[in-house]
Structure 1
Amino acid sequence: MADMFPRPPGLAVFLNAGDPPFDVLDDVADMLDDHEVDVLELGVPFPDSISDGPVIRRSADRALAAGTELEDALAFVERARGRHRHLRVVVLADWAHTVRPRSTARVVTAIAASGAAGALLHGAPPRARPEFYDRAGAAGLPVVTTCYATSSPDVVAEAGVHASAYVYLVTHYGPSGTGPPPDPAALRAPVDALRALTDAPIAAGFGVRTAADVARVHAAGADAAVVGSAVVARAEASSARGGDVVAGLASLVTELRPHHRRRSPRPVAHL
């Protein structure tokens, strides 16, 4: 498996499928690729998430109100497949809202067929996870596992053993977008524990809002930072002002990695 984060510090960003609307989201993804963002975590929107703060919950509500379904998200992934030189798209699907009504087999098969670079199963009970791991492995679909910095050794071991895309290390408990910046001293031990269990990259998120936060994550030994609420909030603010969402997010990406040199934009296709 190619490394998701080939040049540290890596960067993953989160957006919900359908918010911004897909015609804008297509352009956002192209911009992320031009800026060499490593991963777009694309959420299939679901309601009433207890792990998400108000910013991401508003985004999910807007996407759901627009009628966004798993099939719409995967159509976006298929459009992106082969168009991007750097950006990978990972699909985040909620167990209760998206997976259980359709079956694990159907969802894994569909995500793999879309060309997604990985899948993250949100909120799955322990009894459901082994089937997900097995079916993803059989389909050749890389898995993003999750654990908290304070998770028990058993939970950390499961995350390490089954990660084939990367481990998402959540820096603290509580809703997204509401916690403090990451603490390198507190993250070093869980990062080291995961390193002993897996060769998969480690990406840390929750509380990552600025370039200084990205640097803190890297200082803790993680391969990448995950930025969610700050990205969704910037898109929301740009849209509310009637501004250019793509330009607003490009500015944020530049702020997060001020010393990163942008690659030359893709050639414009002539019709």
Structure 2
Amino acid sequence: MTRLAAAFAKPSPALIAFVTAGDPTPAATPAILEALVEGGADVIELGMPFTDPMADGPAIQAANIRSLGAGTTTADILAIAKGFRARHPDVPLVLMGYANPMIRRGADRFAAAAKDAGVDGVICVDIPPEEDDALGPALRAAGIAAIRLATPTTDAARLPTVLTGASGFLYYVSVAGITGKQQPQQDSIDAAVARLKAATELPVAVGFGIRTPEQAAQVARVADGVVVGSAIVEIVARHGVGSPGPVAAYIRTLADAVAGARQTLMEIGA
């Protein structure tokens, strides 16, 4: 069983926590990742900073600017990932970012370096499934999950294309637009998750706009995973190199809410 499969096989839905690598500095990131694990995150999503993060809202855009301003490179990110893997052999680690840093020196080279660093999956925001050949074959050859995104506009006609070649889990973007700016409607999430789970055996994780333990609990009642990003990045922005403590405390509230939501469903026989 892969690390990702094991994370989704637990009794509670997986809590997936996102931070931007190198924010506020590359040297500070390992301690922040430790805080995510300490707080109870099941999967770590490490953002690769980019100059034009078109899918991200102000919080993550600002994190990208801080990281790049601190001189973060792809080599730094892979070193951070490798160090994390040495400390946490069983915690899944996913890289999320944009095509340019991943493929500018060749997809095979990136995939090999990610494998060497112990990366479990990659989400590339701006390579559509129709252009899978740009990165997907290299990832699969390296044993790395090519994680795909589905959105509220992914209709029945396009969903099979999104799922072809997908692995690890399916990431459902619960709102149309950029990260951190809109609040998802639970009714629409319920319907979308049901539709996606009917189409695939992959776990379905829901992200974008989830900030509070209450929201995380609502999503956890229907989804296999709950993704939180912008709210964590905002804590890092407020506390800088002193953010590990506040990050761990915040993650703990989310982890407790996610676990409690599924336990409640089990108790009522849902």
CA distance in 2, matches of 1:139, 1:195: 27
CA distance in 2, matches of 1:259, 1:193: 24
Please, which of 246, 249, 256 is the counterpart of residue 248 of structure 1?
Answer: 246
Note closer, same or farther for the CA distance 1:31–1:99 as it changes in structure 2 (3 Å cut): closer
In the alignment of these two chains, the number of paired residues is 255
CA distance in 2, matches of 1:257, 1:92: 21
**How far 1:143 sits from its partner (Å)?**
1.8
- Superposed CA offset, 1:128-151 (max 9, x none): 313422222211111211110331
3-state SS in 1 of match to 2:167: coil
CA distance in 2, matches of 1:14, 1:32: 9
For 1:187, the equivalent position in structure 2 comes to 189
Note closer, same or farther for the CA distance 1:77–1:230 as it changes in structure 2 (3 Å cut): same
Note closer, same or farther for the CA distance 1:12–1:259 as it changes in structure 2 (3 Å cut): closer
CA distance in 1, matches of 2:157, 2:95: 25
Is the helix fraction higher in 1 or 2?
Answer: 2
For 1:225, the equivalent position in structure 2 comes to 226
3-state SS in 2 of match to 1:13: strand
Please tell me the residue identity of whatever aligns with 1:225: V
Note closer, same or farther for the CA distance 1:260–1:125 as it changes in structure 2 (3 Å cut): closer
Please tell me the residue identity of whatever aligns with 1:176: T
CA contact (8 A) 2:216 2:258 kept: no
For 1:237, the equivalent position in structure 2 comes to 238
3-state SS in 2 of match to 1:20: coil
For 2:65, the equivalent position in structure 1 comes to 61
**How far 1:127 sits from its partner (Å)?**
4.8
Note closer, same or farther for the CA distance 1:45–1:138 as it changes in structure 2 (3 Å cut): same
CA distance in 2, matches of 1:190, 1:157: 15
For 2:267, the equivalent position in structure 1 comes to none
* Matched ranges for 1:48-197 at <5 A: 48-84=52-88, 86-95=90-99, 97-180=100-183, 182-197=184-199
3-state SS in 2 of match to 1:11: strand
CA distance in 1, matches of 2:202, 2:244: 31
CA contact (8 A) 1:171 1:187 kept: yes
For 1:266, the equivalent position in structure 2 comes to none
Which has the higher mean CA deviation after the structures are superposed, 186-195 or 74-83? 186-195
CA contact (8 A) 2:121 2:147 kept: yes
User: Please, which runs of 5 or more residues in structure 2 have no aligned partner?
Assistant: 260-270
CA distance in 2, matches of 1:191, 1:101: 34
- Superposed CA offset, 1:178-225 (max 9, x none): 001x32321223212322332221110111000111112123x21111
Question: Structure 2-normalised TM-score?
Answer: 0.87
**How far 1:105 sits from its partner (Å)?**
1.9
- Superposed CA offset, 1:206-254 (max 9, x none): 11000111112123x2111111110000111112xxx721011012112
CA contact (8 A) 2:146 2:167 kept: yes
User: Please, which runs of 5 or more residues in structure 1 have no aligned partner?
Assistant: 262-271
Please tell me the residue identity of whatever aligns with 2:179: S
Note closer, same or farther for the CA distance 1:260–1:229 as it changes in structure 2 (3 Å cut): closer
Question: Structure 1-normalised TM-score?
Answer: 0.86
For 2:263, the equivalent position in structure 1 comes to none
3-state SS in 1 of match to 2:164: helix
Please tell me the residue identity of whatever aligns with 1:238: H
CA distance in 2, matches of 1:167, 1:133: 15
CA contact (8 A) 1:36 1:87 kept: no
CA distance in 2, matches of 1:57, 1:7: 34
CA distance in 2, matches of 1:153, 1:131: 24
For 1:267, the equivalent position in structure 2 comes to none
For 2:38, the equivalent position in structure 1 comes to 34
Which has the higher mean CA deviation after the structures are superposed, 1-10 or 229-238? 1-10
Please, which of 13, 16, 23 is the counterpart of residue 17 of structure 2?
Answer: 13
Note closer, same or farther for the CA distance 1:260–1:208 as it changes in structure 2 (3 Å cut): closer
CA distance in 2, matches of 1:193, 1:259: 24
